[in-house]
Amino acid sequence: MGEISFDDFMKVDVRTGRVIKAEAFPEARKPAIKLWIDFGDDIGVRKTSAQITVHYTPEGLIGRQVMAVVNFPPRQIGPFMSEVLVLGVPDKNGAIVLVTPDQETPSGGRMH
């Protein structure tokens, strides 16, 4: 694993957002959920898809806070344009568990 500088790390803009809409993404090659996430007034609502169907349902994600990288370029995923990268880590079986703040935080808050 290579080292990066603190300045390199600060280029990655990770923010807190709240899921305001979520729906199944049956067109995806692997099971996924489409998410619309509100990052507050400065960034607004951005969308993404995530392969998180083992631990989450679309209905259960509404209102949840998540962490996401907001400064990657948009990426086409089938018929859907993904604008942010939601962060997660694999459980012992490889299924993704979302990275979330452990207390309520304002939408758009930047990770330090």
Tens of pLDDT, residue by residue over 44-84, are 999 999 999 999 999 999 999 999 999 999 999 889 999 99
The answer to the question of residue 56 being in a domain is yes
The answer to the question of residue 7 being in a domain is no
Q: Could you tell me the residue range of the domain that residue 59 belongs to?
A: 13-98
The answer to the question of residue 47 being in a domain is yes
The confidence band for 112, taking pLDDT boundaries of 50, 70 and 90, is confident
Model confidence at 111: pLDDT above 80: yes
- Residue 48 near residue 41 (C-beta atoms within 8 A): no
Query: Can you give the pTM of this predicted structure?
Result: 0.94
Alpha-carbon separation of residue 95 from 17, 19, 25, 70, 87 (angstroms): 22, 20, 17, 23, 13
Cα–Cα distance measured from residue 29 to residue 44, given in angstroms and rounded to the nearest whole number: 28
Tally of domains in the chain: 1
Phi and psi based region of residue 92 (left: phi greater than 0; alpha: psi -120 to 50; beta: remaining): alpha
CATH code of the domain in which 60 resides: 2.40.50.140
- Residue 24 near residue 93 (C-beta atoms within 8 A): no
Cα–Cα distance measured from residue 64 to residue 77, given in angstroms and rounded to the nearest whole number: 23
The answer to the question of residue 86 being in a domain is yes
The answer to the question of residue 103 being in a domain is no
Tokens at 29, concatenated: 């090659």
The confidence band for 28, taking pLDDT boundaries of 50, 70 and 90, is confident
